[in-house]
């Protein structure tokens, strides 16, 4: 009952420090944003068993690691509550423990959905396979022109293509918001329409602030509007 839906992200240029292990990758961003979306797309954080759909009580993001034929999925606990630096730290620690053969059975069996990043080499398409007790696996690829793509493998007994397409649409928008070029040209304060470029210039690179509006949607706000000025 496995199906796959995909979207194109295009090039995403993320500001990274020289030597950053995430340079030219978006693994950390995909895990960070998809974990937050699981609160709204609960079917993607569930699984099918004994004729019933069963929901996981927490969000544990799985990171697929394979460096030479030994594939494991490391589970990042409470992923939807972690800030981005914490997600990056979890990924770094997981890779270190993987290299040292120090991962425990519990760490490799607790994930509720999985992200597998195959963007190191040019790739047009993947058909990601679901790990046990999961209904969603997100595959990341990058084409010859440097454009990223996402493919979600999902269990049709738990969810359907429309829901996955909506999930991918939201995830794509969130990931593209990290692109320095897109942000500078398109992102504005939702209250006064001040652009990100203006706010970065006036606040010495601090930028806009992501807040929840009265409808419960995430929007961007400048410092002046946040202070009620």
Per-residue pLDDT of the chain (229 residues; tens, 9 = 90+): 899 999 999 999 888 888 888 988 999 999 999 999 999 999 999 999 999 999 999 999 999 998 776 899 999 999 999 999 999 999 999 999 999 999 999 999 999 999 999 998 899 899 989 999 999 999 999 999 999 999 999 999 999 999 999 999 999 999 998 887 654 556 778 888 777 766 665 544 567 888 888 877 888 888 888 877 5
Q: pTM to 2 decimals? A: 0.78
Q: In this predicted structure, what is the pLDDT of residue 69?
A: 67
What's the rounded Cα separation, in Å, for the pair 174 and 132? Answer: 28
How close are the terminal C-alpha atoms of the chain, in Å? Answer: 54
Q: In this predicted structure, what is the pLDDT of residue 36?
A: 95
Q: In this predicted structure, what is the pLDDT of residue 19?
A: 83
Nearest of 124, 164, 165 to residue 141 by alpha carbon: 124
Cα 56 to Cα 48, 51, 135, 208: the distances in Å are 11, 16, 11, 34
Structure tokens at 182: 């897109």
Cα 61 to Cα 9, 54, 57, 83, 145: the distances in Å are 21, 17, 13, 13, 29
CB 180 within 8 A of CB 15: yes
Q: In this predicted structure, what is the pLDDT of residue 186?
A: 60
What is the DSSP code string of 202-225? HTTS---EEEE-TTS-EEEE-HHH
User: Which H or E run contains 149?
Assistant: strand 148-155
What's the rounded Cα separation, in Å, for the pair 170 and 147? Answer: 18
CB 82 within 8 A of CB 90: yes
């Amino acid at each position: 009952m496995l199906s796959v839906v995909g979207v194109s992200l295009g090039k995403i240029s993320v500001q990274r420090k020289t030597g950053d292990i995430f340079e030219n990758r978006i693994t950390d961003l995909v895990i960070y944003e998809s974990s937050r979306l699981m609160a709204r797309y609960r079917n993607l954080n569930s699984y099918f068993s004994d004729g019933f759909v069963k929901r996981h009580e927490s969000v544990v993001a799985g990171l697929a690691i394979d460096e030479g034929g030994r594939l494991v999925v490391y589970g990042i606990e409470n992923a939807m509550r972690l800030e981005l630096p914490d997600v990056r730290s979890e990924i770094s620690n997981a890779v270190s423990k993987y290299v040292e053969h120090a991962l425990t059975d519990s760490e490799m069996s607790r994930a509720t959905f999985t992200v597998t990043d195959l963007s190191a080499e040019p790739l047009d398409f993947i058909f990601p396979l679901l790990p046990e007790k999961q209904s969603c696996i997100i595959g990341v690829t990058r084409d010859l022109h440097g454009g990223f793509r996402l493919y979600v493998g999902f269990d049709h007994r738990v969810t359907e293509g429309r829901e996955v397409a909506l999930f991918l649409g939201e995830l794509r928008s969130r990931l593209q918001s990290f692109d320095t070029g897109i942000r500078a040209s398109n992102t504005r304060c939702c209250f006064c329409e001040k652009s990100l470029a203006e706010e970065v210039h006036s606040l010495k690179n601090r930028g806009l602030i992501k807040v929840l509006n009265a409808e419960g949607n995430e929007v961007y706000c400048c410092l002046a509007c946040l202070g009620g000025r």
